Amino acid sequence: MESFDMLISILGSTIRLSIPLILAALAGLYSERAGVFDIGLEGKMLAAAFAAAAAAFLTGSAWLGLLSGIGVSLVFSLIHGFASITNRGNQIVSGVALNFVAAGLTVVLGQAWFSQGGRTPQVSGEARFSPIILPGADMMRDVPFIGPLYANVISGNNILTYIAFLAVPLSWWVLYRTRFGLRLRAVGENPGAVDTAGISVTFLRYRAVLMAGLLCGIAGTYLAIAQSAAFIKDMSAGKGFIALAALIFAKWKPVPVMFACLLFGFLDALANFMQGKEIPVIGEVPVQLFQALPYILTCILLAGFIGAANPPKAGGVAYTKER
């Protein structure tokens, strides 16, 4: 029974750690499906986290914090779009620049506004997204196997967690069952054909990067006032890059993206659990091994051992209309 409780604890941690990855990976999915590589997921999450924490502290409202986080992330997306879509700049350079700007600006503003070394003050109560207890969770807690799973893994999460999982089938429906999704995928594969059909490539790509900004805003808000209770320096901790690895691992498809992020979240949770523990015969396993596994798995995929991962053909290429 102790092993089962341990498993439940790891699964609960897996869900919590996977949410920002799922949201950021879906953000990258929209952008890259439209042919715009977005290395700036990390920076947008970080900027959104700071804006959400600051707004939630000043207003006492988690929802205003969410709106602030989304708003700042959308501004960063528009900057990325202006640089890489309107001005046809290098998409990688633009994304990396946004990461540097976010990393520096959040600390400078945090110190200037709150004088806590780049942190924001702790928030509580209505300024945080609290866990939601689903109907019947307390009643089912004592039911063998199913009860603890429902009460401690499925129930007890905040609303942004459920939004993240809802975004997966919604993204699948948008990409594969709507006219917008068809055009979005087409512009990532052959923007010339889309332009010939009389559809604006620029407008489609801007809408894609704005969708990415929306999802990164929710991811950053989750980090600051749902998973945590304040903003701290570099709190995104490379999650934007792990989300990109998950996106590649899932071959740019929404449902596999969710499972890839859950896998990476599980490895992260397992790394936290295994810290300082010894395995029989092997001994103490370095935590860094578990933390490196997502990148190792992605490299194995890219090497072609478990199938090719081919990005959209027009990805990373600025479109120039032929005259």
Buried b (16+ CB within 10 A) or exposed e, 104-118: eebbebbeeebeeeb
DSSP 24-82: HHHHHHHHHHTT---TTHHHHHHHHHHHHHHHHHHHS-HHHHHHHHHHHHHHHHHHHHI
Report the chain (323 residues): mean pLDDT per 10 consecutive residues. 78 92 95 91 95 94 95 96 91 93 93 88 90 84 81 89 96 94 90 86 94 96 93 89 87 91 87 72 70 73 62 70 57
Looking at residue 100, what is its pLDDT? Answer: 94
Looking at residue 177, what is its pLDDT? Answer: 94
How many beta carbons lie within 10 A of that of residue 75, not counting itself?
16
Looking at residue 194, what is its pLDDT? Answer: 87
Q: What is the pTM of this model?
A: 0.92
Half-sphere exposure of 59 (CA within 13 A, CB side): 16
Beta bridge partners, 278, equal 284
CA angle 168–23–266, rounded 5-degree value: 90
Q: Would you give the distance in Å from CA 302 to the centre of its chain?
A: 21
Looking at residue 216, what is its pLDDT? Answer: 96
Residues 6 or more apart in contact with residue 253 via CB below 8 angstroms: 29
Q: Looking up tokens 């924001």, which residue turns up?
A: 120
CA distance 185 to 193: 12
CA distance 93 to 39: 8
CA distance 75 to 188: 23
Q: 87 exposed, middle or buried (CB, 10 Å; 0-12, 13-18, 19+)?
A: exposed
Contact call for residues 306 and 27 (beta carbons, < 8 A):
no
Tokens standing for 247? 């996106």
Contact call for residues 200 and 138 (beta carbons, < 8 A):
no
CA distance 268 to 294: 9
CA distance 231 to 120: 5
Looking at residue 292, what is its pLDDT? Answer: 77
Looking at residue 218, what is its pLDDT? Answer: 96
Q: What is the CA radius of gyration of the chain?
A: 20
Beta bridge partners, 283, equal 279
